[in-house]
Amino acid sequence: MRIDEINTRLAAISAEAENEGADINALTAEADALIAERKAIQEAGEKRASLLSKIAAGEVGKRTEAVKEKTARKAMTREEALASEEYRNFFAKTLMRMPVNEDEQTAARAAGVALTTTATTFVEAGVAADGVNNGGLFIPTEMSLALVKEAELVSPIFRDIAKDNLPGVLKFPYKVSGTGADIRTEGTPNPDGQIEWAELELTPYEISETIRVTWKLERMAVPAFLSYLQTELIAAVKDAMIDQTIYGTGTDEVTGVTASAGSDNEKTYDGTDPLAAIKEGLALLSGKQKAGAKIYISNSVAEEIMFHQDANSFYNFAVVNGAGISTIGGYPAEKDPYLHDGDIVIGNMKKFRLNEIEPISVSRDSSGKQRVSDYTAYGIVAGAGQPGEFVYISKE
């Protein structure tokens, strides 16, 4: 065998190297070549033995199926890509300037991500120059859902509104009034009914917040970085999104619930008797509008109600170990910590539409002088409520 021949010659070279007059350079070159040849022969033998073993165990067929499955996964939809582990890793690695593999790149292409940088390793910006902006990466589905779920946990108003994910400027028709049905004599034709329709137009606006991360933190492992960035994203974007949903003016931002109420359904009170103010607010809605309506109160209003005392200085509610406020006047009631002090909102939040036109993405800018990176979360949303369906009560 060739290996036996190589081993014999190597033994001879070893003996020759003992002689003082031996050409050490020539012997070294020959020995290195023989050792490399022997290694290649041994590796080929190991691969041959492994192949024969796999054939005997039927594993070659399994690998073929795995390759087919991998190929099929490359034809994933955008939604599947954003929800995949490969894209999640691509998202984190690209932000951290780490190398990405073929599967991660495939997931990014399926998600429609087009980067403006081809960097595969982390490159620190100079003292006077910023790093290359990555052009924006859609955040993975699980992070996007976590953001929305977190917002829903802290704001009942945001939780209860109707949400959509539709592209473009949307118009939702809604009924203003109509003649309705009536009892008819048998055999007589129905008169032409009349329904007045209006459109709720949702104009898109940007929502953007920036998170600052030190270069030291960027050296975290991929799972740890994803967890950290998710927490920071939620903290940065959640407040802006909820605040626009409730208090957006409609000028370069969402038309929030309070602005959708309209001047006819806005009222103020002195803050001393919120229950009386709620009673007056309910009177502004028709019977049909009250169907499904809920009363949302700020923390200060809840405290004013809970700690109210009668003429004998007795609390009207069990303030210790009590159940809290769940209904007011027979209508469901909830505290919303995002309502300003003294504020009250009444209405059916299904009459408000919030549309996420552009999913939230993240881009990265780096500052070498400060050794930090700014991650900017960016998205496009639109929202508005049907006019006259909500009541907004504020403290004077």
Asked if the model's pLDDT at residue 20 lies above 90, the reply is no
Q: Residue 93: which of 66, 113, 67, 71 has the closest Cα?
A: 113
DSSP result, 187-217: TPPPPPP-EEEEEEEE--EEEEEEEEEETTG
Calpha distance 271→15 (Å, rounded): 103
CATH-assigned architecture of domain 134-178+194-396: 2-Layer Sandwich (3.30)
pTM exceeds 0.75 for this model: no
Token pair, residue 238, equals 């959640």
Token pair, residue 109, equals 């292409």
How far the first Cα of the chain sits from its last, in Å, is 100
Asked if the model's pLDDT at residue 190 lies above 60, the reply is no
Biggest alpha carbon distance in the chain? 128
Q: Residue 253: which of 205, 209, 203 has the closest Cα?
A: 205
Q: Which pLDDT tens digit goes with each residue over 238-283?
A: 888 888 899 988 887 888 999 999 889 999 999 889 999 999 999 9
Residue 287 to residues 194, 257, 320, 329, Cα–Cα distance (Å): 21, 20, 35, 14
What is residue 64's predicted lDDT score, i.e. its pLDDT? 54
| CB-CB neighbours of 366 under 10 Å | 23
Residues in the chain: 396
Q: Which pLDDT tens digit goes with each residue over 140-167?
A: 888 878 877 888 888 999 999 988 766 5
